[in-house]
Amino acid sequence: MLSHPSSKYQPFPLITLPNRQWPTRHLASAPIWCSVDLRDGNQALAVPMNVSQKLEMFDALVKCGFKEIEVGFPSASNTEFSFNRRLIEENRIPDDVTIQCLVQAREDLIEKTVESLIGAKKVVIHMYNSTSPAQRKYVFGKSKEEIIAVAVNGAQLIKDRLHRLTSGGTRVTLQYSPESFSATEVEFAKEISEAVMEVWEPTPEHKMILNLPDTVEVAMPNVYADQIEWICTNIKKRNSLIISLHTHNDRGTGTAATELGLLAGADRVEGTLFGNGERTGNLDIVQVAMNLYMHGISPGLDFSDMNGLIRMYERTTGMTVAPRHPYSGELVFTAFSGSHQDAIKKGLAGYEQHQTAWDVPYLTIDPNDIGREYREVIRVNSQSGKGGVAYLLESEFGIELPKDMQREFGPLANEIVDTLGREVTATELKEMFWNEYIERDSPYALHHFHADGVDGVFTCRSSLVIHGKERGVVGKGNGPIAAFANALIEDAGAPSFEVTTYREQSLSSGTEASALAFIQIRVNEGKTVWGAGVDTNIELASIKALLSAVNRVI
Ligand code: KIV
Ligand code: ZN
């Protein structure tokens, strides 16, 4: 990078806007939404959608509640053209949905576009030409007057062909975009737009759409808002226009630019689901809609099944939604930090109790409203201490380690976490516990256990697999565990020990209830060791716990 970037890059000039109004306004209702997923979004895909993918996306957009959908650029490819024809001929467009098509100001392209729309009920013909100084100079090599002539000529060509649609009952709305508007002098944007308006002659009863694109974000969003307010204030026949915003996200402020543009007087917003589109993408329409929703304003779009919508989007576009993408990302309703989790728990409990307005810390909306769930991710690292380990096993799996066993397992778990050099999840921690205690079947593995008692004396007749070989063992004691302990010591050659602590609890995973037993034994030198066993039968769980402890000693 340059040490003096000003030698190469210039700040964008500010707009002179005396009596600026937008900073003190607030949004009170939703704009008209127009999805451009099937055009701007689609044209930016490495592999554009095929007709069946476009149909799937179209149906999903209709289901979300979009009433205006830019379906493509029918003069640009056969796929786009035949997509239009299928939508129209197979009657797939609901009566309250308008389809929109993009076209450049060229006769052959306009001709083809009109042809693709014959038979539709409601359409927007969207014509654009580029107007910024750089486009005029480098791309077209045309003066301002010549650029205006391109727009006026295109507008006339469209006007001349309208009867081909209207005579068949099609309701047509016209839309003009001075492409690269945000990099264009506002005075010139006004001049060229008014020249198009003179041809199209919009009225308050039959308005035209003037779309003012932030084709490439070149300034802060307040500058875009100034440009929109400047046009809204200065353009002729404002009440015959629907002012539309179309922001991209080059500086990462597409959402902010749209929201400020609405404050500045715009009526309509174009964008895509999750911000798909050229370069850094188009405006993420879901974000603006959900931002309205979180202020209690009904957006008129329904994202109740956000997960389903993401699956459709990923399937049809091949794009993914980033895990931290606002509202839709996988992690946006997940808390990792203990203090956040605590605050959310308390906030949710308060909301449940009082049912007042939503003000749960760290959660901007109730995830259930969009079919999501709040999730806590609790993890331990090598610094977490035995308490953290025990808390995780208990809170996530209901495993209540005896205090003294926590002192044994805590350091063992921390040592493994340290070797891994990262935090581990509760599931990984449970696996460590299982490896260390429950799955300890060497040298002694239980093959069969049986014990019965007469007059308080229990005889255990069991079989073990010892170093791969099965053999029977017998022992006596004042209970089944004592009898099995004696069988191990006296018959199976285990080192001498005594049972010092025994605890059991029930565990339920899924539909199956099982018991978890913990046994602590003391060996000759006075050292204590824990074991644990799981079984649907509590007696067998304790026998396995004893074997686990003995195996761990050996
Ligand atoms: O970004 C843009 O300027 C466009 C226009 C065609 C509206 O997509
Ligand atoms: Zn665009």
Give the DSSP per-residue string, 299-320: -S---TTHHHHHHHHHHHH---
The answer to whether the CB of 246 is under 6 A from ligand 1 is yes
C-alpha 39 – ligand 2 centre gap (Å): 9
Mean of the per-residue pLDDT values of the chain: 95
CB atoms within 10 A of CB 504: 16
Task: Give yes or no: residues 277 and 371 share one domain.
Answer: no
Query: How far is residue 461 from each of residues 485, 519, 550, measured CA to CA in Å?
Result: 12, 21, 18
Give the atom of ligand 1 at the shortest distance from the alpha carbon of 248. 1
| Residue at a domain's end among 436, 463, 482 | 436
pLDDT digits (tens, 9 = 90+) for 222-238: 999 999 999 999 999 99
The answer to whether the CB of 281 is under 6 A from ligand 1 is no
The answer to whether the CB of 215 is under 6 A from ligand 1 is yes
The answer to whether the CB of 40 is under 6 A from ligand 1 is yes
Instruction: Return the pLDDT at 382.
Output: 66
Q: Is 163 a domain residue?
A: yes
Q: Write down the residue that tokens 């993914």 correspond to.
A: 320
Query: How far is residue 3 from each of residues 7, 9, 112, measured CA to CA in Å?
Result: 9, 12, 51
- Taking the complete model, does pTM exceed 0.85, yes or no? no
Q: Whose CA is nearest to atom 1 of ligand 1?
A: 215
| Residue at a domain's end among 268, 285, 317 | 317
Q: Is 529 a domain residue?
A: yes
Task: Give yes or no: residues 350 and 476 share one domain.
Answer: no
Query: How far is residue 214 from each of residues 151, 167, 548, measured CA to CA in Å?
Result: 19, 35, 68
CB 236 within 8 A of CB 204: no
Task: Give yes or no: residues 421 and 456 share one domain.
Answer: no
pLDDT at 144 over 70: yes
Task: Give yes or no: residues 423 and 459 share one domain.
Answer: no
Task: Give yes or no: residues 455 and 432 share one domain.
Answer: no
- In the structure encoding, which two tokens stand for residue 205, read together? 């009863």
Q: Is 156 a domain residue?
A: yes
Q: How many domains does the chain have?
A: 3
Q: Is 369 a domain residue?
A: yes
Residue 213's beta-bridge partner residues?
246
Residue among 32, 3, 484 nearest 246 (CA): 32
Task: Give yes or no: residues 384 and 525 share one domain.
Answer: no
CATH of the domain at 514: 3.30.160.270
The share of the chain scoring above pLDDT 90, in percent, equals: 87
Task: Give yes or no: residues 106 and 248 share one domain.
Answer: yes
Give the atom of ligand 1 at the shortest distance from the alpha carbon of 179. 3
Instruction: Return the pLDDT at 385.
Output: 67
3-state DSSP helix/strand/coil % of the chain, to nearest 5: 45, 25, 35
Q: Is 322 a domain residue?
A: no
pLDDT digits (tens, 9 = 90+) for 243-254: 999 999 999 999
Task: Give yes or no: residues 303 and 359 share one domain.
Answer: no
Q: Whose CA is nearest to atom 2 of ligand 1?
A: 215
- In the structure encoding, which two tokens stand for residue 343, read together? 């605050």
CA distance 98 to 405: 68
CATH of the domain at 179: 3.20.20.70
Query: How far is residue 286 from each of residues 66, 302, 310, 328, measured CA to CA in Å?
Result: 11, 9, 11, 8
The answer to whether the CB of 213 is under 6 A from ligand 1 is yes
pLDDT digits (tens, 9 = 90+) for 351-373: 999 988 999 999 999 999 999 99
Give the atom of ligand 1 at the shortest distance from the alpha carbon of 213. 3
CB atoms within 10 A of CB 438: 18
Domain that holds residue 123: 30-317
Give the atom of ligand 1 at the shortest distance from the alpha carbon of 130. 3
Task: Give yes or no: residues 156 and 256 share one domain.
Answer: yes
CB 207 within 8 A of CB 242: yes
C-alpha 496 – ligand 2 centre gap (Å): 79
The share of the chain scoring above pLDDT 70, in percent, equals: 98
Helix axes 107-117, 78-89, angle to 10 degrees: 30
**Residue 252 vs residue 388, higher pLDDT:** 252
Q: Is 6 a domain residue?
A: no
Task: Give yes or no: residues 117 and 197 share one domain.
Answer: yes
Instruction: Return the pLDDT at 384.
Output: 67
pLDDT band (50, 70, 90) for residue 509: low
Q: Mean pLDDT over residues 64-74, rounded?
A: 98
- In the structure encoding, which two tokens stand for residue 256, read together? 């902010």
Q: Which numbered ligand comes closest to the C-alpha of 127?
A: 1
Q: Is 89 a domain residue?
A: yes
| Residue at a domain's end among 386, 408, 436 | 436
CB contact set of 542 (below 8 Å; sequence gap of 6+): 480, 481, 502, 504, 517, 519, 533
Q: Is 8 a domain residue?
A: no
The answer to whether the CB of 182 is under 6 A from ligand 1 is no
Task: Give yes or no: residues 431 and 456 share one domain.
Answer: no
Q: Whose CA is nearest to atom 5 of ligand 1?
A: 179
Task: Give yes or no: residues 422 and 478 share one domain.
Answer: no
